Structure 1
């Protein structure tokens, strides 16, 4: 059973949209059809704004929403140091091996965006 917060973020995702002057990073999980475009605006090495447009399952959508909220204000270096365990801790539910790509789609896409 999904934690209620995950279902709430799936039904009413946060930080949805585009940032006009930022080129999005695209991510896809081919195994289940999830896709996302994530916009990361940085100023002087700090993450100032994050928006996304996603067509994804509940786990992927929730993880992207959580990530987009938590990384605002972080430095690019701090974002680079985030890992799988950090993201799974943020979700707060057990993720099966088959759903791991869903849970990590946002983190992998954001980390690609800053490179």
Structure 2
């Protein structure tokens, strides 16, 4: 029987190797990109919001460590179909719990990168004229 730690590691590697909605979202309404200046991890999140503020679709792209990329996948899987209000109530602590294993403060920054990006993405509408450029 695998230990709890081994189960977490397997779940994280699954999200890293076969991520949820990795790529770019054509027709996105909101988008934001940021990086962790300490290590260079980069995450961009594209959102398509419906007129009622519900997340219709979401994708991420970027480069970085297993933690930053797997946590982005986990976050998008978690928030797909939720409203902006529900997303705003999803805290950094919620993100760390979603990820699972305890992390050192520096590694927490890797995990929280996608959470920071999505919190900004909802305030970053895409200009239709800029889309695709």
* Shorter-chain TM band: over 0.9
The alpha-carbon deviation at position 28 of structure 1 amounts to: 0.5
Q: 1:77 aligns with which of 78, 85, 89?
A: 85
Tell which deviates more after alignment, 59-68 or 16-25.
16-25
Provide the secondary structure at the position in 1 that maps to 2:111.
Answer: helix
Provide the secondary structure at the position in 1 that maps to 2:57.
Answer: strand
1:35 matched residue in structure 2: 42
1:5 matched residue in structure 2: 11
Higher strand share: 1
**Ranges in structure 2 where 5+ consecutive residues have no aligned partner:** 124-133
Partner Cα distance (2:90, 2:19) in 1? 22
- Using the size of structure 2 for normalisation, the TM-score is 0.81
Larger Rg: 2
RMSD between superposed Cα atoms in Å? 1.4
How many residues were matched structurally?
A: 115
CA deviations on 1:34-64 (whole Å, 9 max, x unpaired) are: 0011101110210111101120111111110
Runs of 4+ in 1 over 3 A off after TM superposition: none
**Ranges in structure 1 where 5+ consecutive residues have no aligned partner:** none
Provide the secondary structure at the position in 2 that maps to 1:30.
Answer: coil
Alignment of 1:53-64 (within 5 A): 53-64=61-72
